Structure 1
Amino acid sequence: MTFRDLPRAFESTSEMSATITPSERSLFTRRMHEFYRKLLGGGRRQAGFMASAGIVALQTMVDRLIEDHRRAQLLAERIRAIPGIRVEPPVIETNMVFFRLERDDLSAADFLAALSHRGVRMGTLRDGVVRAVLHYLVSDDNVDATAVAIRSVLQAEPQ
């Protein structure tokens, strides 16, 4: 008999709990604990990992944010000249670049998929607005390669 067979084997829960062996009881207890933990929002145990990342960022990455912001401005400058792109807002003040696709024959999802095939990952903020986030792993050469990839996707023949 397995844990899953227990409810079918007994008509009342009192009979069921009285006949569970110690190993089955611990499994039952773990399953109930998991159920109630998730029900009450306990699935957020990863918050410690997020807090650790935040602490590392504040202690070691703040001084180099200037580089990310400079690269974001560089990317915006490079893609602003590409037909079919409108950078929003025109002035970049963070490490994120938002731009709108101004082509009716290319959806944001198709654009992102084509970029992904070229090794560039971005996301969408809302309908038609693409978000590029620059971080410590992105170099000036990566920015140039990203601009080239965007240009190649927009110059490709529509399918």
Structure 2
Amino acid sequence: MLGRTYERENCSAARALEVVGERWSLLILRNAMFSGSTRFTEFQRQLGVAPNILSNRLDRFVEAGVMEMRPLPGDNDGHEYVLTRRGMDFQPVIIALTAWGDQYAAPQGPPILYEHDGCGGMVHQHLSCEKCDALPQPGQVNVLQGPGMA
């Protein structure tokens, strides 16, 4: 079995994978973000994930501050899982991953599109340079040491 942590890596991508890198994690976040799923039964019905796996993933999201568990109004035993700001900030990653899948794994075209609720325009994720606003091509992005590098 693969480990869940990357202690030897001083890398933000590796740290993010510790939170969202397990099977089902991205789909749970996608459904919470774009399908409005909040209840355990909704996630299970929509995704077909085993209850023990789903429970584990949701518990880890709560522990990591990606979701919070809230009691359901009028239901003494029920609760829901709601994305926190940290969880919602994962939205660009889901959109970028979807774009990659649309290009390389969707022979009939994109199965879904992301629309801006405010104006109806299509939402896309892209890289751009903060200085000149250019879209860097593959091979045009250099890696530099950041302040967190030991």
TM-score, with structure 2 as normaliser: 0.22
Q: Which has the higher contact order (CA 8 A, sep 6+)?
A: 1
Structure with higher Rg: it is 1
With structure 1 as the length reference, what TM-score do the two structures score?
0.21
Greater strand share, structure number: 1
